[in-house]
Chains A and B, each alone.
Chain A
Amino acid sequence: MTLEIAQPNLPKAPEPETGSPRYWGLVWKQFKKRKLNMIGLWVILILVAIAILAPLLANSEPVYVKYQDKVYLPILQKLWPISKLNLYPELTGVDLKDWKAKGAEFRYTPVPYSPDDYNLEEILEPPSIYHWLGTDQQGRDVLSRLIHGSRISLSVGLIAVGIYTLIGIFLGALAGYFGGRWDMLLSRLIEIMICFPTFFLILALVAVLGQDLFYIMLVIGLTGWTGIARLTRGEFLKLRNQDFVTACLSQGMPTRRILFRHLLPNAMAPVMVSATFGIASAILIESSLSFLGFGVRPPTPSWGELLSQAKSVIDVAWWLTTFPGMAIFLTITAFNLVGEGLRDAVDPKLKS
């Protein structure tokens, strides 16, 4: 049979737009609209930059030494993995102070103190030109400790949340998609987990496992997944009845592929929002743990540990509590601002 096939009168393609506006593109557009969101985002980006560059920002090692017309960059020797290269064999065993006396040219990082450099002659100095944020009971520079502490605080936040997001997504996806017995099991488990006072659970676990940074991340990760799991479960429950899932099945796609390649990106928006808030609370939990003395072992600088050290001298050295407190406050606020902005941006009801 031959049918006369009319060339279909198809609608004109949208304007020549290379690379279509992806969903996240739209979210970004919405996110940008509010100034506070952008401030929060910038604060986070700057914090991350500080954390990554910490050894280049606060270090007692000179950055640049010029001696007898030869240039050395001694700080590189302290940086992993460059330190493995042994760049300057001639510097081993040399006291740089001798060079300084001999008229060598020295340049230092903006904060020329390492976080663990104690100087008993400069105990509890208030903020000054030399120590911008003052010194603590052992004469350590507070700014340097804050800068290095940001590494601990941010990495605890990111890694712990990373762990629990993975756990939450995996369990939530299984429960939401397969339903039935799996769902029953997970929902009850979540309810049980929620009944525990999480912070004390973490305290107890850290006390048992030991005060290691890795354990702290792990414990926060293992106890925090319930929220994400619930969200993911709800999203998958909604998504599994979508027609495209049946379409995927009818093409013979394996279930795991449908779950994690096709459904997960559709469920990501609320998970991202929750994870952003989660980072803030993980940082707070770590600070609280350190403050109570269950966190990272001193002298490792973490913001909570700084506060903890400061509590005995709170009436004489205001700078010891103020600045770490402000750092925590600023970080938490920034993450919460971004989380809130993200939540509003992904909410389809607010899009007009």
Chain B
Amino acid sequence: MTTRKTLILTTAIALCATGTVAQDVTLTIESWRNDDITIWRNQIIPAFEAAHDGISLDFQPMAPAQYNSALNSKLDAGTAGDIITCRAFDASLQLFERGQLADLTDLDGMANYSDVARSAWSTDDGAQTFCVPVASVIHGFIYNAEIFAELGLEVPTTEDEFFAVLDAIEADGSYIPMAMGINDQWEAATMGYANIGVNFWNGEDGRAALIAGESRLTDDAWVEPFRQLARWSTYLGRGFESQSYPDSQNLFTLGRAAIYPAGSWEIAGFREQADFEMGAFPPPVPAGTDGCFISDHTDMGIGLNAASPNQEAGRIFLEWLSSDEFANLFANAVPGFFPLSSAEVTLEDPLAQEFLGWREQCESTIRPFHQIVSRGTPNLSNESWTAAANVMRGTWTPEEAGEALQSGLSSWYEPHQ
């Protein structure tokens, strides 16, 4: 009797012991990137799990439109996953300030990132970082190389050449010069304003001046991009006012439009959908400027839920995220989302490599209204969507757009009062 009891007891202890050694932990990853679900399940997760016994990953993406509100609700109630995909700037900063994201400043891998890369997921003074910077997206223009060859067009580098190319395509009449609509509004602000504007407000300098209150949105540097957008309207398809974002994508990939104002994230989708050669060029520079800028926007980070019971395993995963291995894996699996780490990355996709190459020629900056100046009501970034779309629709003049944005900003932002 006693021996049997002892036996059971020792077996139980042994079982417990093995349990702690190879304790299986599953980390649930919250993400808005349901477009990437197959990439995570087939490439990223197997790569991680192969190297890390006892930690498995569960990628649970949702539709991007619900992400912020659903995530916030789950964090508030304590049911969110262990790993949180971080939006850039204030949305994540707020989570950190509420104590919902763990402080990752002391993560070894953080050394692999520049201050600029970390800025999107750091406190304003840069002292604390709470998400590992994962990817940036670069703006530019993708063009249909076959149409360009057919019409004998050169890739434009200056603003004048750009409009000359558009005129030539329009004169030919077989193709829509540029595929863009304003029904969803954000294209006008993102692929339009933030894309070409960098050369007018001189990238980071202009952005810093705006934050400091030294530059106003009614200045030429900020109004001129609106004037450019107003000129774009004539080159867009019929009824562009209600052309939606997927409409534009399909218009281009079906070969009906020559130029597509793009973000690099389009590359993967376009590769799959288009059956013609594509090329890309950075935003054309205005006459009389030397040097160029690109919008190389910090878009996605990954952090750790402060309430997660698996802090240790979570940190192991995040260290792996900051490794060169992950940077290469991710950059090639999702061409168009460029790693932010200082790792040497070689891209197999020539179009993605083209975008990435601009980092050498031009100075990088992020979208102008993302840091600090969109912290109040009205929200400058969201207002800029409406303003850019209104300008393209022709209901606002570029000057009116500048004034509307400035008065909104002045209404709450001290450096502008």
B and A form one assembly: no
**Chain B positions near chain A (C-beta within 8 angstroms):** none
Q: A residues bordering B, Cβ < 8 Å?
A: none
